[in-house]
Structure 1
Amino acid sequence: MSRPDAALTRRTIRRHQLREIVPLADTTIYDMEQRGEFPQRFYLTSRCVVWDLAEVEAWVEERRQASRAKAINRAPSPDVHQRKTRPVKH
């Protein structure tokens, strides 16, 4: 038996497998998909949603490279002077 060419075999992953690779909330992933910042899901059947594993892995690698190049802006630290109340000390 000969193995099929690697370029011809495409793996898909379901939501629970995606969560193991990309630890983001479902709504965050959905929003990123809508903005074109994350690989698009597609339906195998009316009830089965999947992502292309190669696209997800490429996205993760892209994010890794951007992080190393300091191209991803980090969220700002909260301004504690804008607090309306002070934390309670016990």
Structure 2
Amino acid sequence: MANRYIRRTEVEDLTGLSRSTIYRMMDAGQFPRPIRLTQKAVGWKETDIAAWLESRPVAA
């Protein structure tokens, strides 16, 4: 199955995180880094985001 790349706004919607939180967590090594798609565009592997979400604790 081909891996789908998703843009930042979709990552924000899926995770509930803001842009600044995503980048702060990336700098701390706590969030997957995006892949450069073009000279100006980046995207995250959908599977990386899904795995990150699965690794998060679930609220009781």
TM superposition score normalised by structure 2: 0.86
> Highest Rg: 1 or 2?
1
Cα distance between partner residues in 1 of 2:12 and 2:21: 12
Q: Following TM superposition, where does structure 1 have runs of at least 4 consecutive aligned residues deviating by more than 4 angstroms?
A: none
Count of aligned residue pairs for this structure pair = 60
Which position in structure 1 is the counterpart of 2:52? 59
Which ranges in structure 2 are unaligned for 5 or more consecutive residues?
none
RMSD value over aligned CA atoms?
1.5
Question: Normalized against structure 1, the TM-score is what?
Answer: 0.60
Unaligned runs of 5+ in 1: 1-5, 71-90
Q: Relative contact order (alpha carbons < 8 A, sep ≥ 6): 1 or 2 greater?
A: 2
